[in-house]
Structures are given as structure tokens and as C-alpha cells.
Structure 1
Amino acid sequence: MSEGNIHLTSAEIGSLWTGYMQDSMSKCVLSFMLKHIEDKDIKPAIQYAYDIASNHLEQLLHIFEKDNYAVPNGFTEQDVNINAPWLFTDTFCLNYINHMAKAGMIAYGGFLSMSAREDIRNYFTQALNETAELYNQTGEIALSKGTNARHPYIEVPKETDYVNSKKYLSGLNPFHHNRPLNAIEISHLYMNVLTNTIGAKLCIAFSQTSPSKDVQDFMLRGKNISQKHIKIFADTLLKDDIETPQVPDVAVSDSTTQTFSDRLLMYHISLISASGIGNYATAAAASQRSDLMINYERLSLEISRFAKSAADIMIKHEWLEQPPGIKDRKKLAKNKQKG
């Protein structure tokens, strides 16, 4: 059977829609970065990321046309003020691209695993490989410049061992000394420090450049949540005498000129929030100390409430583009009866 006769599944439709929305947003952000970035080592990586997003949009449009799929509105050049003053440091741009590439690899891996049709699988395989290359490229540049954020060091194991007590899983008893963190738990704690640092800085930049009071208040709330979570994770590491390594320069300028549309800002932070919930769920599942699991669960709930308020704001201002879905059969039947 030819691909033309194989209908897209709900998973493929949802994945393609999400991919288009994310790449159209990325293209706007990256076009602004390319306009202003000066570092000759970093700029090629930003250009590569921009080219990836542009090529993805072209391929997606081809798929949409072939399958009579309504093209999402997404984001366009109207959602970015390319001539606004420089908002980020060059190092922030590098770390931002690296962070988004991490999230992209997870997303494309998921999209690929849910796809059945050959052309869709080929597209997501290519996208996954390109995003992995972008991650490696930005990581190498950061390493060469000494601006990479490296996870804490611990001793390499010299022998294997087994858990010999249920106390290994405990962590809630304030009168009981918690066992030291293991390598897996340390890695997730530190990674969530990094992701919240990026999120906090984006919220600061977006709050000071948005003209909307709703958006400003929302972004400041997001900054406070991120900083609170950073402190919780860093303090957990410090209790085992593990200092959080210095996070690279991720500063933003003092520009207050609107740089991106409020619709793009809200979508971007909603996307990061969803990624954060996923990170916390993964960290909770990988952690074996009960206090860590409960921390991730309660902090996930806080992010979920934050994400809900984002949706409320976007609906209020008619900024929330609706994903594809099935027809409301009850509504169709009622409308038929009225007719």
C-alpha cells in the first residue's frame, strides 16, 4: 500500500502539529539572536539551529499539503521585533540552544516512537539526528570556551554492591540520618538546577519586555518559582557537601522594548513548563530516596498550577491555538436535531 493511501494516525497528527508550533517559535527566537549575536564561535551554531527550524517547517508544509492537513498558524515574523535592542548575552544564547536541543531530543524520540508511516518516521529520525548534532556542537563550543556547566564530580566506583536494607529508600524521618545521594539522584538534581536557571532568566527577559500586565505578573511568578526550586535542589546537594557548580553567564540586558509577541512568550514558557514537569517525573522515577520523590511530586504540582494559569491567560486573550482533535459527536447530533 502506498503512503498516499495510509492515513495519518492521531499520534502522527499530534506530533506533526506540535513540531510545527515549536519550530515556528524557534525560528522567531533564533532570527532575533542571529541579528544581534557577535561571538564568531557561537554564531555558526545559532545559524545551524535556525537552518534546522527553517528546513523542518518546509518539510512539514510538504507533508501537510500531501495529506490535506490544515496548516497551523504557529508563529511568523510578525511575532518578533527583529530590530529591538539586544536582550541576551552571547553565552546565554549558546546555553539556551543547548538546553532547547536537550528538550528537542526527548520530544523527537517520543514522536518517532509513536509514528508508524515510513515518511513520518524518516522525518522524525532526521530531526532527531539533527537535534543531537546541534546539542553536540553547542556542547563542544561551550567546552572550548570554558562556559559549559559540568555536573558535580564523585569518585568512580571501585567495586559493585547491593542494597542490604530498606533504609536505603527512606528519607522522610527527620530523626534518621539520610543515606548519601547516589550518582543518578545527583545528576537529576543538578540538571534541574540548570533548567530552572534558564527558565528564570527567560521569565525575567519576558517580563521586562512585555507590555501586558497579565504577562508581566505571570513571568515574575515563574521567575520566583524557578528560583525557589533552584534553592531546594541546591540545598539538597549541599547537605551531602556537594556544591552546585558555577552556572555559566546567563544574564539578560536591561532592554524593556517589546521583542516578541505576548502570544509567543506565553507559548514558550508553557512549553518549558511542560518540559519541566516531564523532567521532574523522570527524576522522581529514577530517585530511590523517598524525600526526593515527594519533593519532585509536590514541585510538579506547583508547575502544573503555573501552567494552568498560563492556559487561562492565553484563552482570555485568544492566544491559545487549539491542537487537532476529533469531532464532538454529541454536539453534531444536537446541531442536526436543531436543524
Structure 2
Amino acid sequence: MTEKHTQLTSAEIACIWTSYMNDSMATCILSYFLQHIEEEEIKPIVQFAYDISAAHLEKITNIFQEEKIPMPTGFTIEDDVNLHAPRLYTDTFMLTYINHMAKVGLLAYSGFIAMSARKDIREQFIKGLQETTELYDSSSDVSLLKGLFVRAPYIPYPKKTDYVDSKKYLSGFSLFSKQRPLNTVEISHLFTNIQTNIMGTKLSLSFAQVSPRENIQKWMYRGSDISKKHVQVFTKALLNNNIQPPVSADIAITDSTTPPFSDKLMMFHMSLLSGAGTGNYATAAAASQRSDLVLNYERLSLEIAQYAKDGADIMIKNEWLEQPPGTIDKQKLIKTKDTE
């Protein structure tokens, strides 16, 4: 048996399934963006993002068919997008959204590569990583050109190297002494999570604005409130260190209330961002050395987890939560056999 025809591992199946779901969602959103984008500098970025997702979707579809694995339902332009819906987002929002989702894609493809053994699967995800890197790079260039790219805070260059000489360095709480200043690793994660939550706030508000279902509107508004709260927590940590967090330009949504996307797609998208946010917080907690920051990330992660769980309940109730491929329940199989 050649390497190419070696059966896919469970990890590889999980990767192609996740990639299919994400890319099918992306093609729906980007096809809608293409109907409304006007700025000449931004339009090629949107088109490039769409072309990448569409090509990935076609390749992954071929893999499913070659391996004779049932295709996910995912999302389709026919069922999950209203291309004739009025403009919901400004051109600058579309650019900022693509730049943000490219960051999410970079992390996802890195993980897919690390979990894949078969050569053709690795090559597929390596190509995806390269294309997503190019997308992030080009969208960053245009964002910088238009004054939309938000840089992390600047600090004075250090004058020397140093070592931790006291356990107090790890403490974020003290009744008798001032907290130590934030280090650059901690600042970078606080800044990143501020920017991520700002995007989450805008996106969840736009979804609440257009959803026809009251329970989904409430869930989306709740997500926006959670993101705002988390921005305040992270901003306060920076301000307490006399670091002014850079503020993004207004990446506004319009006043349209006509839904461009299905509720199923919008719920999936927010669940995806919730999962990415939880991962960001875990990484930030592991990298931060001040105990107050670690505790903040841990408690805020629990809030996101409960929010995501409530969202999953809504999706299950409406039969929108697609189940990833799984193993056979042996006990259930035996009981079924015994009744035959």
C-alpha cells in the first residue's frame, strides 16, 4: 500500500472536516461581501480571500469523495446566503474582518499540519497556510495604507537583559507593594485579546440586528456585552501600567435589518469565534507570569465556555449543530445485535 493510499487517521479526518466547515462558511460570507465591496484597494483582497476558500473547498471535497467518507453538509450559497440583501457592513469592516479571520486561519492551518501524517494531506494544509499568510500580509498592507491597522503599544527599548530574582515577580496581588510592570509578552496578549473582542462585539451586534429570532437576538446581544466587558478588563490592565491601548478606527455596520446569512451560519460563526477566543485565553494564561492576569484569563474563559454551551443548546434545538465524524458506539452496537 502506497503512502498516498494509506487510510486517513482520526486526526486527519477531523482536520479535513473542520476545514470543510470553515471554508464553506467563508465562501458564503465572502460571496456576500463581493456583492457590496466598492473600494478599489480592498476589492482584490476580498476576491483573493474568496478564491482561496473556494479552492480549498473543492480540494477537500475531492478528498472526501476519494476516501468514500460522507460529506459534511456545511454551508451553501443557495441555502445560507441572501446575495440580494442590502449592505450590512462597510468596506473597512470587510477588510478588518478578513485580516482578523486570516489570523484565525494561520493558527488553524498550523494545527492541521502538526496533526497530519499523510503526505498529500500535509501538502494541502501547507499550501493553505502559505495562502493564508499571503492573505494576511496583503490585507495588512492595505490596512496600513488606509490607516486602519492597529499596532500594539510601543514601549521604550530595554537597556539590558535581566533575570527574575524574586517570587514577587509572579504575584499580581499585594497589599504592601505595587504590582510589577507588565512585560512585553503580557502586553502583547492583552492587546491581541482586546482587538479580538472588538471584532466579536461588532460581529455579534450585526448578527443580532438581522436575525428574525428573538432568542438568537438575545444570545447575540449577550455575546456583544461579554466582549465589551472583556475589552474593559484587558484595557484596565494596560491603563494601570500607564499604557494607552491603541483604538481601532470605526469599522461600522449599517442600519440594515435584512438578514444576509442564515441563523444557522451566524450561530456557527459565533461558536467558531468563541472557540478561538477560549484558545487565545489559554495561550495568554500560559504565557503570562503575573497571577492576576492568569486568574482573569481563567475566569473569563469560563464565561465564554458557558456562552458557547448556551449557543450549542440553541443549535441543537434547531437541528443546526452538525456532528463531526466519530467512532462506533460498541455498547450500542452490541445491544442492537442482541435485539435482532
Once the two structures are overlaid, the 10-residue window that deviates more, 166-175 or 236-245, is 166-175
What corresponds to 2:43 in structure 1?
Answer: 43
Question: Counterpart in 1 of 2:119?
Answer: 118
**Which residue in the other structure is 1:94 paired with?**
95
Residues 225 and 334 (structure 1), Cα distance of their counterparts in 2 relative to 1, 3 Å cut: same
Equivalent in the alignment of 1:79: 80
Letter in 1 for 2:17: W
2:18 aligned partner: 18
**1:146 Cα offset (Å):** 1.0
Alpha-carbon distance in structure 1 between the residues aligned to 2:5 and 2:55: 26
Task: Give how far 1:250 is off.
Answer: 1.6
Task: Tell me by how many angstroms 1:203 deviates.
Answer: 0.5
Q: Which whole-Å deviations, capped at 9, do the CAs of 1:213-265 have from their partners, x for residues lacking one?
A: 12101100000000000000001100011111121222111111111000000
Q: Which runs of 5+ in 1 are unaligned?
A: none
1:172 match: 173
| Letter matched to residue 103 of structure 2 | K
Q: Does 1:238 align with 2:239?
A: yes
Distance 2:264 2:331 in 1: 32
Runs of 4+ in 1 over 3 A off after TM superposition: none
Rounded Cα–Cα distance in structure 1 between residues aligned with 2:302 and 2:181? 26
- Write the distance in 1 (CA, Å) between the matches of 2:331 and 2:82: 44
Provide the aligned length of Structure 1 versus Structure 2. 339
The aligned counterpart of 1:147 is: 148
Deviations 1:116-163 (A, max 9, x none): 000000000000110011000100100111111110000112211111
**Structure 2 counterpart of 1:273:** 274
Instruction: Using the TM superposition, give the Cα deviation of residue 3 of structure 1 relative to its aligned residue in structure 2, in angstroms.
Output: 3.8
- 1:175 Cα deviation (Å)? 4.1
1:328 equivalent in structure 2: 329
CA shift, 1:174, in A, is 4.3
Amino acid at match of 2:36: H
Cα distance in 1, alignment partners of residues 176 and 295 from structure 2: 18
CA distance in structure 2 between the aligned counterparts of 1:232 and 1:94, rounded to whole angstroms: 27
Please, which moves more after superposition, 219-228 or 176-185?
176-185
How much is the aligned-residue C-alpha RMSD, in angstroms? 0.8
- Structure 1 residues 246-255 or 24-33, which shifts more? 246-255
1:298 to 2:268 alignment: no
CA shift digits 1:252-310 (9 cap, x unpaired): 11111111000000000000000000000000011000000000000000000000001
3-state SS, counterpart of residue 237 of structure 1: helix
Matched, 1:136 2:144: no
Measure the CA separation in 2 of the matches of 1:212 and 1:3.
Answer: 49
Please give the TM-score of this superposition, normalised by the length of structure 1.
0.99
Point out where structure 2 has 5 or more consecutive residues left out of the alignment: none
Aligned counterparts of 1:191 and 1:229: Cα–Cα separation in 2: 12
- Work out the CA distance in 2 between the residues paired with 1:230 and 1:46: 28
Identity within the alignment, %: 56
Aligned residue number for residue 263 of structure 2: 262
Name the TM-score, length of structure 2 as normaliser: 0.98
How far the C-alpha of 1:4 sits from its partner, in A, is 5.0
Distance in 1 (CA, whole Å) between partners of 2:126 and 2:87 is 35
